[in-house]
Amino acid sequence: MKKRVILDTDPGIDDAVALAVALSHEDIELKLITTVAGNVSLDKTTKNVLKLLDFFGKDVPVACGAMKPLVKCLEDASDIHGDTGLGGYDFPEPTNTPIKLHAVEAMKNVILESNDPIDLVTIGPLTNIALLFSMYPECKKNIKRIVMMGGSASRGNHTPVAEFNICVDPEAAKIVFQSGVAIVMCGLDVTNQAILLPADIEVIKTMNKTGGMLYSLFQNYRGGSLTTGLKMHDLCAVAYLVRPELFSTQECFVDVETGGVYSAGCTIVDLKNKFKKAKNATVCLGINVVEFRSWFIDRLKKLI
């Protein structure tokens, strides 16, 4: 049976890679794409999703979500992804527009109307999901799990201790981790290992239209380099959804620091059960990188 999925995203170059796979995978039924401010502003992330849908010739409803975090001012990642979020490839202006419902309302409708539980795949800040749980807690009962790219059991990438998606909106992340919904955390412990090597990138470059598009985007991606390899952070969440055997995991209690001059956005991952609290997340700690690369390149071969 296909997995019924809502994808919450903030494209972003590595989001585009994840979206390419999610849109085309035979085991995924993408019911809705929701956008959030993160890598770039909400208007840009939404436009980027619409451009990618046009590129792949897919018709999936898109709903705009939160334009800022719950409490903080937005800190984007345009230094990593460029000013537009998808610089480097000349996409035409999108032909479609988002639906009129806010992302939270659209998610609520899809979740409550679904006969089967929904997988939420989140590859941006968790603002939309926190708002959903705060406004419509009845949705939780029909969510199978959240598979998120976010957090870290070790060090950070936005601050010394905080990963970007969590750090952008730590208050939202705290709400999500305390929601009682099953969570799979694909954090930096695995995403920093999920690297496309220069040789892989050269293969992708001439593979097909999609490969050429991604190669053009990679020229402007600062998540690594073309000479040392590029980190496919967000792709890990989609990979876990369809190929969980690629990952080694541990059940842990996870919480999020929201205060502190230096620690806001830090994910506290209790690997040794020091706090004796109920485990609320499946934390990915290892990945079979060779198989991950092989899987991704095989997926790209099936695209336009």
Rounding to the nearest 10 degrees, give the CA dihedral for residues 215, 166, 119, 289: 50
Question: CA geometry: angle at 75 spanning 122 and 103, to 5°?
Answer: 40
CB 95 within 8 A of CB 52: no
Per DSSP, the residues of 220-288 read T--SEETTTEEE-TTHHHHHHHH-GGGEEEEEEEEEE---STTTTT-EEEETT-TT-PPP-EEEEEEE-
Which residue(s) pair with 269 in the sheet? Answer: 254
Tokens at 203, concatenated: 């293969």
25: annotated active-site residue: no
Cβ–Cβ < 8 Å for 130, 176: yes
Our measurement of the distance from residue 189's CA atom to the centroid of its chain's CA atoms, rounded to an integer in Å, reads 15
Residues found in the chain: 304
Contact 278, 253 (CB under 8 A): yes
Q: How many CA atoms lie within 13 A of 289 on its CB side?
A: 17
- Exactly one of 25, 81, 158, 233 is catalytic; name it: 233
* Residue 276 burial (CB count, 10 A): 7
Q: Which residues are catalytic?
A: 233
